[in-house]
C-alpha cells in the first residue's frame, strides 16, 4: 500500500491490478489539481492555494483575537483582577493569543475528526452554552448571573459528554449523533439556568428594566412599565 496523505493506492484483493476502488484521492489534491487539468497554468494554482490559505488565516486570526479579548477583559479584568492596568490587560491578551494558538496547533497535528465534523461540534457547543444564555437573558428578566454561569457550565458538560459518548462510545439517544449534542446541552442549560436563577436573588429593578428595553427597536424604549417612542417622547403603548 502507498499512502502519501493525499493519495492512497492499495491492492485490496491482491491480484496485482489497480482498480478504481483501490485508488483513493484526497479532496484537497483534487481542488489543487483542477487548474492544472484545465491548463490554466502554475500561476492560477498558486492563486487558488494563496486564497485558501488567506481565508484560513483570516478566520483563525479573528477567532484568536476574540478568544484573547474575552479572556483578558471578561475573565481576567472583570473577575480575577478588576484593578489591572490597561498595559497589563494588553499583555494578558497577547499571552492568551499565544496559548490559544499553541493549543489549536496541537489539536491540528492530530485532529479528532474531519474539519466539517469539528465545525459541527463547535456549533453544538455554542447551542448548548451561549444560546440558552442569550435567549433567557433577553426574554426572561428573572435570569441572573448565577443562573447564566450555572447554565453555561452544565450545558458545556452535557454537550461535551454526549459528543464523547456518541463519538467514541457508540451511545446515542433517539438516534441523535454526536454533532447533535447541542439539543441535550441546551435543554440542560435552560433547566439549570431557571433553577439556579429562582434559587438565588433576582436582579435589581434597574437591570430588569434594561432587559425589557432590549426587546424593543432603537426607536422605542421601556420606561416605568410603559413603552415610549424615543424621537418625540410620545407614548407608544
Residue 8 located in a structural domain: yes
Residue 186 located in a structural domain: yes
Q: Are the CB atoms for 92 and 76 separated by under 8 Å? A: yes
Cell of 150: 450555572
Residue 228 located in a structural domain: no
Residue 141 located in a structural domain: yes
Q: Is 195 exposed, middle or buried (0-12, 13-18, 19+ CB in 10 A)?
A: middle
Q: Which residues of 168-187 are buried (b: 16+ CB within 10 A; e: fewer)?
A: eeeeeeeeeebbbbbbbbbe
pTM metric for this prediction: 0.62
Residue 174 located in a structural domain: yes
Cell of 88: 497589563
Question: Can you give the length of the chain in residues?
Answer: 237
The string of DSSP letters for 167-188 reads HHS---BTTB-GGGTHHHHHHH
Show the domain range for 160: 113-203
Determine the Cα–Cα distance for residues 147 and 133; give it in Å rounded to an integer.
Answer: 9
- Bridge partners of 3? 8
* Count of structural domains, the chain: 2
Residue 158 located in a structural domain: yes
Residue 58 located in a structural domain: no
Q: Which residues of 134-160 are buried (b: 16+ CB within 10 A; e: fewer)?
A: eebbeeebebbeebbebbbebbbbbbb
Residue 215 located in a structural domain: no
**Rounded to whole angstroms, what are the CA distances from 229 to 175, 221, 232?**
50, 6, 6
Q: Are the CB atoms for 156 and 175 separated by under 8 Å? A: no
Determine the Cα–Cα distance for residues 11 and 24; give it in Å rounded to an integer.
Answer: 11
| pLDDT tens, the chain, 237 aa long | 555 556 667 766 767 776 766 677 766 677 767 777 777 777 777 887 788 788 888 888 888 888 888 888 888 888 788 888 888 988 999 999 999 889 888 887 777 666 777 788 888 999 999 899 989 888 888 888 899 999 999 999 999 999 999 888 888 888 888 888 889 999 999 999 999 999 998 888 888 777 777 776 665 555 555 555 555 545 444
Amino acid at each position: 500500500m502507498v499512502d502519501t496523505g493525499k493519495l492512497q493506492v492499495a491492492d485490496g484483493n491482491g491480484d496485482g491490478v489497480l482498480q478504481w476502488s483501490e485508488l483513493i484521492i484526497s479532496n484537497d489534491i483534487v481542488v489543487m489539481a483542477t487548474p492544472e487539468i484545465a491548463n490554466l497554468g502554475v500561476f492560477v494554482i498558486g492563486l487558488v492555494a494563496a486564497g485558501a490559505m488567506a481565508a484560513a488565516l483570516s478566520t483563525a486570526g479573528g477567532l484568536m483575537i476574540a478568544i484573547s479579548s474575552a479572556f483578558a477583559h471578561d475573565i481576567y479584568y472583570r473577575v480575577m483582577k478588576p484593578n489591572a492596568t490597561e498595559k497589563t490587560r494588553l499583555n494578558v491578551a497577547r499571552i492568551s493569543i499565544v496559548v490559544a494558538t499553541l493549543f489549536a496547533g496541537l489539536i491540528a497535528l492530530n485532529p479528532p475528526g474531519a474539519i466539517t465534523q469539528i465545525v459541527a461540534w463547535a456549533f453544538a457547543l455554542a447551542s448548548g452554552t451561549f444560546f440558552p444564555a442569550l435567549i433567557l437573558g433577553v426574554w426572561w428578566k428573572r435570569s441572573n448571573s448565577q443562573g447564566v454561569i450555572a447554565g453555561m457550565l452544565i450545558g458545556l458538560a452535557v454537550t461535551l459528554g454526549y459528543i464523547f459518548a456518541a463519538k467514541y462510545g457508540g451511545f446515542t439517544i433517539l438516534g441523535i449523533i454526536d454533532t447533535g449534542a447541542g439539543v441535550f446541552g441546551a435543554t440542560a442549560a435552560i433547566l439549570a439556568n431557571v433553577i439556579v436563577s429562582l434559587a438565588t436573588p433576582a436582579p435589581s429593578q434597574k437591570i430588569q428594566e434594561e432587559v425589557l428595553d432590549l426587546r424593543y427597536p432603537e426607536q422605542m424604549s421601556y420606561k416605568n412599565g410603559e413603552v415610549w417612542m424615543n424621537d418625540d417622547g410620545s407614548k407608544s403603548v
